[in-house]
Amino acid sequence: MVTGLFKHFTYFIDLAFTPEVLWNIAPLLIATILIIVYFEIYRKEDYVWSSYLSNSFILLFVSISLFRYIFSINNAGYFNLVEYPGKTIATVLLLFIGVGLTKLNFKHVLPERYAKYLSSPLTINLFALGVILFVYSEIKYNFLVSISLIILILILIIIFNLIKYPTRILKRIIEKEKKQERFKNMKEAVYEIDELKRELRIRDKELNRIRLKKANEKKEEGIKLKKIIKKEKLTEK
């Protein structure tokens, strides 16, 4: 059993790197990594219902793509739906789940915490990935196939969760740098304010000096004017 399980597991790993399958799962993996990193950095920012809805659309698009693949096998068309019942059932199940999630998210039926979990990129994308690998596989379905796919998805879940740790470290470094930068800017701002205060004091002193000078000049002019008036009065007498 262990040998058979390992054989199926390695088969799905190899299958994931074949060009045709890789073109389907690469966007899912890249999108999952980017969204995990984004929401790990901006942890206070929460999902919204529009995000849940758009995530559920992924299952619809993937199921349609898988139907196209099933139809294209040996160019047999609709006959393949009967010829490959396992692939057909898996794709139909994916489609129904996608339609169900879309309806639930559109109407906001579920509590948000459940909708957030069921429609998260990790849940949606890895479930879609598992169905893609199963549909593209050429081995006959058995119990070991399901177990090997489940193990593969669990390993991917662990890997994606491990991505959170370096992201958290990076976030702490960025926040520390931003804090130091804010502190530096604050110190510079305080220094600039002190400089402005000193300059204002100097200008205030200069302005007072000019006012005092003008006041003295007016006083002297007043004294001179009084003397002139006195002389004129004396002359008149």
Query: What are the tens digits of pLDDT across the range 152-179?
Result: 888 888 888 888 777 777 777 777 777 7
What pLDDT, on a 0 to 100 scale, did the predictor assign at position 16? 79
Task: Give the highest mean pLDDT range of 20-24, 36-40, 74-78, 189-193.
Answer: 74-78
Contact 62, 68 (CB under 8 A): no
Give the confidence band of 96 by pLDDT, cuts at 50, 70, 90: very high
- Report whether pLDDT(79) > 70: yes
The residue ranking higher by pLDDT, 208 or 225, is: 208
Question: What is residue 93's predicted lDDT score, i.e. its pLDDT?
Answer: 93
- With cut-offs at 50, 70 and 90, classify the pLDDT of residue 237: low
CA 141 to chain centre: 38
Task: State residue 73's pLDDT score.
Answer: 85
Rounded distance between C-alpha atoms, residue 191 and residue 196, angstroms: 9
CB 40 within 8 A of CB 164: yes
What CA–CA distance (Å, rounded) separates 70 from 80?
6
- Top-confidence residue, 134 or 169: 134
Q: What is the pLDDT of residue 92?
A: 93
Average pLDDT (189-209) is: 78
Total length of the chain: 237
Asked whether 40 and 167 are in contact (CB, 8 A), the reply is: yes
- Mean pLDDT, to the nearest integer, of 56-67? 85
Burial (CB count within 10 angstroms: exposed 0-12, middle 13-18, buried 19+), residue 119 = buried
pLDDT mean over 54-78: 84
d(CA 60, CA 44): 30
Residue 231 pLDDT: 64
Is the pLDDT at 95 greater than 70, yes or no? yes
Q: What is the pLDDT of residue 103?
A: 85
pLDDT at residue 123 in the model:
85
Residue 45 has pLDDT above 60, yes or no: no
Asked if residues 74 and 204 have their Cβ atoms less than 8 Å apart, the reply is: no
State the chain's maximal CA–CA distance in angstroms: 141
pLDDT at 6 over 70: yes
For 49, 103, 203, 226, the CA distances from 111, given in Å and listed in that order, are 11, 14, 65, 94
| Mean pLDDT value across residues 47-72 | 80
Tokens at 26, concatenated:
């690469």
pLDDT at 41 over 70: no
Identify the burial level of 65 via C-beta atoms within 10 angstroms of its C-beta, where 0-12 means exposed, 13-18 middle and 19 or more buried.
Answer: middle
